[in-house]
């Protein structure tokens, strides 16, 4: 099941959610459990990227990036954690970035949000270790999505595909809960673009 702010018409396979709103997140999880049963996997991949020199970055853009990329992951993880704990465990996978461990120019808000995901992933693993809850930071290099359509200076052939990422998520999700995958870094062949 997919949940996104982009969903205009809810279906059994697609729910609308605003990850920055606690009530919206709670409702989304309730609907998902009604449709599918206990939640055993959460993939946090909501995100925005607003890139500007630090001296030109507005407080509004900073807050929006932190709210969606980090607070949204926290709210979804918190809700999933409570439900997983009650039902014997599960996996939470966060979409990280090379920005979660590298300093890149024009990247202050995005990097701060992704560094925050690194910390959140570690805490989830520590607090979930006796409840069979495992968290993974999937730290990604450039992935060709619609985000890049407005940046023609970057070639899709130099990036990971969405299928590359989906395959890695699938492989992590299939691991038994006695195995932790704290982090996986997935980069295109040219590395950081």
CA pair distance 66, 177, nearest whole angstrom:
30
Q: Which of 110, 116, 135, 140 is catalytic?
A: 110
Exposure class string for 145-156: b at 16+ Cβ within 10 A, else e: eeebeeeeeeee
* Strand positions, DSSP E, the chain: 2-4, 14-16, 41-44, 90-95, 133-140, 183-186
**Chain CA centroid to CA 65, Å:** 13
CA pair distance 82, 31, nearest whole angstrom:
15
3-state secondary structure of 43: strand
The structure tokens 């959610």 sit at: 17
CA pair distance 140, 193, nearest whole angstrom:
12
What is the DSSP code (8-state) at residue 100?
G
Give how far Cα 157 sits from Cα of 11, 95, 110, 152, 166, Å.
Answer: 34, 21, 24, 12, 17
3-state secondary structure of 40: coil
110 is catalytic: yes
The residues annotated as belonging to the active site are: 110
């Amino acid at each position: 099941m997919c949940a996104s702010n982009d969903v205009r018409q809810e279906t059994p396979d697609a729910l609308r959610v605003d990850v920055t709103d606690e009530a919206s997140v709670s409702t989304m999880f309730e609907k998902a459990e009604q449709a599918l049963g206990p939640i055993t996997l959460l993939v946090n991949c909501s995100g925005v990227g607003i890139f500007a020199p630090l001296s030109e970055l507005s407080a509004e853009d900073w807050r929006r990036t932190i709210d969606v990329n980090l607070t949204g992951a926290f709210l979804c993880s918190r809700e999933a954690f409570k439900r997983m704990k009650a039902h014997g465990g599960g996996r939470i996978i966060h979409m990280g970035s090379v920005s979660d461990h590298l300093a890149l120019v024009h990247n202050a808000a995005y990097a701060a949000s992704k560094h925050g995901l690194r910390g959140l992933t570690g805490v989830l693993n520590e607090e979930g270790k006796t409840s069979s809850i495992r968290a993974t930071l999937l730290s990604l290099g450039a992935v060709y999505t619609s985000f890049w359509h407005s940046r023609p200076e970057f070639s899709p052939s130099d990036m990971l595909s969405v299928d590359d990422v989906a395959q890695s998520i699938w492989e992590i999700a299939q691991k038994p809960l006695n195995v932790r995958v704290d982090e996986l870094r997935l980069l295109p062949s040219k590395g950081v673009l």
